[in-house]
Structure 1
Amino acid sequence: MGKLTAAKVKAVIDQPGRYSDGDGLILFVRAPGQASWVARVQHNGKRRDYGLGSAKLFKLAEARDRAWEVRRALVDGRDPRTLWQQPAPLLRTFKEAAEDFLEALGAKELGERRLKQGRSQLTRYAFPSLGRLQVQSLDAERIAECLRPIWTAKPETARQVRSLIERILRFARPDGPQFAGTLGPAISDRLPKQPAKGNHKALPYQELPALMERLQEKTGMGALALRMTILCASRSGEIRGATWDEIDFDRGVWTIPGERMKAGKPHRVPLTSQALAVLEEAAKIRRSDHIFPNGKGVALSDMALTKTLRDMGMTCTAHGFRSSFRDWAAEQTSVAGEIAEAALAHAVPNAVEAAYKRTDFFDRRRDLMDAWARYATGGESGEVVQMVAAS
């Protein structure tokens, strides 16, 4: 018997929050008038959320049936994402797919602040040219033409819109070969070169141990998230969106689902003892499924990390710590470049080269991240860390 009732659903439909029915069925209320059903399942050691549709369209009994169909599909070895595709998926427009994505996964993947910004950006820059087009008709050429007016005039906005478009297409057509990976390089090749980015200022890695010492003295989620960002050399969005069920404490592994990764593929992060210590600190004040939530229990905004740094008098950015890590790996270790790139979850740009690199160098990355964590926390001075190069 489920925990929810039709009366309960009606009572909370306009009250933001997360309401569990049991067996993985969850009612997400993002904001008044924005409620959707999600089936959360564990399969092959990984957690996945499958959008089941709007709570305005599907009643509780229908949502339970759909959640059961998701679990049945996984048992049968089928992809649940294909369960309710229309017989003629060509009729689905990009705008319809975008609305479904934003309702089902937007707040989880983007955070509330970025979700609101993303809606505005899509409405202004993407829907006028792409909104009425059928999803499967969109290719790099059409997306490039959509982005062209803002590509050099508003480069950061253009990159954000491109990223949103890619996520929506992966969500809408996971079986489409043209969306198997990122469209980024194919789109960029059709557009002029953007002005050089100047907003990811990096801290020289030699100064990191002192910064980490200061961060350890600070309280608050922003400081904890920054420490984790540095120790894992992860993108701030990956850290801010992290949830507890992505963490395997026994094996010391953080598995980020593909839908939260820039390249659209799952990524395993080896957790060092220092990173696990940060998680243990966060666990003591746990108040939501997010590891680093804000006061409302949802993902921290990107500005939360920036504000923490600015309050400390720092001018570097959270994203810049990835450059600090890359510089350290190049100058202070003998590790092969592809292992450092794998640690940063950088996509291999050449398709032929990517075909030969099926491994994610996980064991070697663990050694690298252990050395990095020791260095960043002051456990080692700047001497060279000897490591085996990839062959």
Structure 2
Amino acid sequence: MGKLTQRAVLAAKPSMGRDGKAVKRSYQDGDGLFLICAPTGAKSWMLRVQVDGKRRDIGLGSLDDGSGRKAFAEGDKRLDETPLMLRKRLTLAEAREKAAALRKLAKAGSNPISERDRERVKVPTFAKALEEAHKALKSGWADKTAKAFKTSLEEHALPKLGAMPVNVIGSAEVIAALAPIWTDKPEMARKVRSRIGQVLAFAKARGWRSDALPDARELRSGLSRQKRGGSFAAMPYAEVPAFFASEWGKAETASRFAVLFVILTAARSGEVRQATWEQIDLEARTWTRPSAIMKMKVPHVVTLSDAVVALLERWTPENDLRAGLIFKGLRGGALSDAALSKALETAGRSETVHGFRSSFRDWAAERMPTLPAMVAEMALAHKVGNATEQAYLRSDLRDMRRALMDAWGRFVAPSLSGVAANVTPLRAGEAA
């Protein structure tokens, strides 16, 4: 039972200081509930609880002495229908009820302040949350990523989720949004699933939802099984030398030689299409790629094998000043990705240009097992190791990468590497 009575609450006054001025005074009711009387005479309720081991004073609202209710006509239930947590004026009985509820939440490990304010938060729809998430997160993304994030959700998520408040969206709602594209467009569906999760995580961080995010396993169990695959089709590495030799014997075209350059360097199509002569140092036998053309936006140095150097020397006309793009399109600009794909198609192959990176990685795993796996990963410009390992690994393993790329060049193009037939001589430390 509380110490305060209605009569005591109404009679409460601030204390008087030694200087004769009024000062704040607290009246304890019990169980952490206090009536605070300000120097002005205004009265309010405060709850004192322990949250995460620290004392917290939580304002509950001002004292309702009954005068405010006179504004309501008889029978008007608007005041009574207002949820307790939203009431800004409280009687003694209401203050005790509200304090008891918040104290119980604090003991259960919840944040009583968040719970007090939860109903005051206006929960936006998924469409509005998408706008807010995109606005807040896009500064950390590339323009292409930011555009794809928003466009994909507008097309595939908003039709089902757009009008829903973000706090009611669960696994069933996400499954309904993904179902139309889950088997027909599996790669896009997986991206949309991830991006929906990002929006919901953003909403939770903003206090718009309290439920856990939809579980990925629940989502998969509620959707049809996707066809296996999704990776870039790759040429078996054993077939690469014959393909290279066949293309090497054909007419010199920018797209064909760009594909051959992709094979020998295990680079991405975009990196090769944007490669310039200024990035090449034939004396040091390196290709220094600036961050602007790299997927990870980090500069990367590729070591050049004898085969790569031979390709560049053959491709360069005698009167070429070796300036600007190495492989130019018909109009002088960079080749398109489609141009390289067309070169493969013309050669009668169904694989992708990007797939040659997988061909290289499979060859490295099977034919160069004595080299650490991270050497091949670094050659592909992939991140290696966890954050701690990356902090301590200061070397780019260039010497080992050079040995690896030289061996790859001899395997793919023995005739350009001074090797008779398709036999790859092994240097010390290389595995058969």
TM-score of the superposed pair, with normalisation by structure 2: 0.47
Cα distance in 2 for partners of 1:340, 1:202 equals 17
1:337 to 354, 358, 373: 373
Indicate whether 1:209 and 2:241 are aligned.
yes
Corresponding position of 2:400: 364
Q: Distance in 2 between matches of 1:384 and 1:95?
A: 52
Aligned counterpart in structure 2 of residue 225 of structure 1, from 258, 280, 284: 258
Partner of 1:328: 363
Q: Kindly tell me: are residues 161 and 278 of structure 1, through their superposed partners in 2, closer, same or farther at Cα, counting changes over 3 Å?
A: farther
Counterpart amino acid of 2:363?
W
Letter in 1 for 2:243: L
Q: Unmatched 5+ residue regions in structure 1?
A: 1-91, 107-117, 130-144, 163-188
Structure 1 SS opposite 2:239 = helix
What's the CA shift for 1:358?
2.1
Aligned match of 1:125: 152
Kept after mapping to 2: 8 A contact 1:332/1:383: no
Give the share of equivalent positions with the same residue, in percent. Answer: 40
* Structure 1 residue 373 corresponds to structure 2 residue 414: no
Structure 2 match to 1:313:
348
Rounded Cα–Cα distance in structure 1 between residues aligned with 2:192 and 2:323: 29
SS of equivalent residue, structure 1 residue 269: strand
> 1:158: how far off?
7.3
Spell out, residue by residue over 1:196-231, the C-alpha distance to the aligned partner (whole angstroms, 9 max, x if none). 544522212221221111111222111110111011
Which residue matches 1:247? 280
Aligned to 2:332: 297
> 1 CA distance for matches of 2:294 and 2:228?
23
Does the aligned pair in 2 maintain the 1:213–1:377 contact within 8 Å?
yes
The answer for unaligned runs of 5 or more in structure 2 is 1-133, 158-173, 194-214, 221-225
Q: Is the 8 A contact 1:335 1:387 kept in 2?
A: no
Q: Deviations over 1:55-84 (max 9, x none)?
A: xxxxxxxxxxxxxxxxxxxxxxxxxxxxxx
Which residue pairs with 2:316 in the alignment? 283
Deviation at 1:159, TM superposition (A): 8.6
> What is the CA-CA distance between 1:252 and the residue it aligns to?
1.2
- 1:353 equivalent in structure 2: 389
Contact residue 209 and residue 375 of structure 1 kept, 8 A: yes
Change (3 A) 1:341 1:315: same
Q: Distance in 2 between matches of 1:242 and 1:160?
A: 30
Give runs of aligned pairs for residues 84-233 of structure 1, distance below 5 A.
121=148, 124-125=151-152, 154=185, 156-157=187-188, 196-218=228-250, 219-233=252-266
SS of 2:288's equivalent in the other structure is strand
How far off is 1:239 after superposition?
0.9
SS at match of 1:239: helix
Within a 5 Å distance, the mapping from 1:41-56 to structure 2 comes to none
Residue identity in the other structure for 2:327: F
User: What's the counterpart of residue 235 of structure 1?
Assistant: 268
1:384–1:374: structure 2 CA closer, same or farther, 3 Å change rule?
A: closer
* Bigger Rg over Cα: 2
Judged with a 3 Å threshold, the aligned counterparts in structure 2 of structure 1 residues 383 and 235 are, in CA distance, closer, same or farther, namely same
SS in 1 for 2:316: helix
Deviations 1:81-118 (A, max 9, x none): xxxxxxxxxxx9579969x976xxx8xxxxxxxxxxx8
Query: CA contact under 8 A between 2:187 and 2:230: conserved in structure 1?
Result: no
1:115-159 CA distance string (max 9 Å, x none) = xxx898467337899xxxxxxxxxxxxxxx9xx968987454579
| Residue 248 (structure 1) shift | 1.7
Looking at structure 1, the residues matched to 136 and 216 of structure 2 have their Cα atoms a distance apart, in angstroms, of 21
Structure 2 vs 1, CA of residues 161 and 366 (structure 1 numbering), >3 Å: closer, same or farther?
A: farther
Counterpart in the other structure of 1:385: 426
Larger RCO: 1 or 2 (CA < 8 Å, sep 6+): 1
- Aligned equivalents of 2:150 and 2:407: distance in 1? 46
Moved more, 220-229 or 312-321: 312-321
- Contact 2:278-2:323 at 8 Å conserved across structures: no
Flag the 1:296–1:287 CA change in 2: closer, same or farther, 3 A. Answer: farther
RMSD: 4.1
Distance 1:332 1:385, change over 3 A: farther
